[in-house]
Amino acid sequence: MFDEIMEKFEGSPSQQAVIRLLLERGFSVNDEGRVVSGGIEIPNTGIAREIDVDRRVVDSTTDVILADSELRRIFQNISQVPSLMDLAPVLDLTVLSVEVADAEEKGIVATVTRVLADHDVSIRQTISEDPEFTDDPRLYLITDQDLPGEVITDIRDLEFVHKIELQ
């Protein structure tokens, strides 16, 4: 789906940057063509500054979104999910990042969470990046305890795991 969305903006790398930001942040577009997070309007100048484009690029991108029924349906229904990852150091949480060889393989989340459950590790949050929306999708598991070495070893030894990181 991500590739199909980006193709609609094929001739404009600046508009693609706007689309990428909207998707990454979970921002939607309201009927007036304003970028919003829930009911809070995000100024186009702030978006433009963030990705180093002119404000008019944001305006033209939202115009295209509203004019295309498929894009409109997507961007009027997208929402952000709060993440504990950035709060982990403040809240003394552990973030386990799992990079896999093939993110479209079935059972990845179930297998990794089963390893944690087998070691009696409680999961506060799981975030699985969509392989359609990101180039190197990862699985993030946030726990409220340090992970014992055997848990890390058991996850690292799963055949589909390419790399793990602890934060």
Is residue 80 one of the residues assigned to a domain?
A: no
**What is this structure's pTM?**
0.78
Q: How many domains does the chain have?
A: 2
Label residue 129 by pLDDT band (50, 70, 90). confident
Closest CA to 13 of 64, 76, 61, 68: 61
One domain for residues 145 and 98: yes
One domain for residues 118 and 56: no
One domain for residues 92 and 69: no
The owner of tokens 């979970």 is: 26
One domain for residues 92 and 60: no
CB 37 within 8 A of CB 25: yes
Query: Mean pLDDT over residues 53-63, rounded?
Result: 97
What is the extent of the structural domain holding 133? 88-166
Question: What SS3 state is found at 152?
Answer: helix
What is the reported pLDDT for 65? 98
One domain for residues 18 and 70: yes
One domain for residues 99 and 161: yes
What is the reported pLDDT for 104? 85
Q: What is the pLDDT of residues 74-126, one digit of tens each?
A: 999 998 888 999 899 999 999 999 999 898 899 999 999 999 999 999 999 99
Label residue 131 by pLDDT band (50, 70, 90). confident
Percent of the chain with pLDDT over 70: 100
Q: Which residues pair with 165 in a beta bridge?
A: 97
Is residue 82 one of the residues assigned to a domain?
A: no
What is the reported pLDDT for 16? 96
CB 80 within 8 A of CB 87: no
CATH number at residue 127: 3.30.70.260
User: Is the confidence at residue 61, as pLDDT, over 80?
Assistant: yes
One domain for residues 38 and 107: no
User: Is the confidence at residue 1, as pLDDT, over 80?
Assistant: no
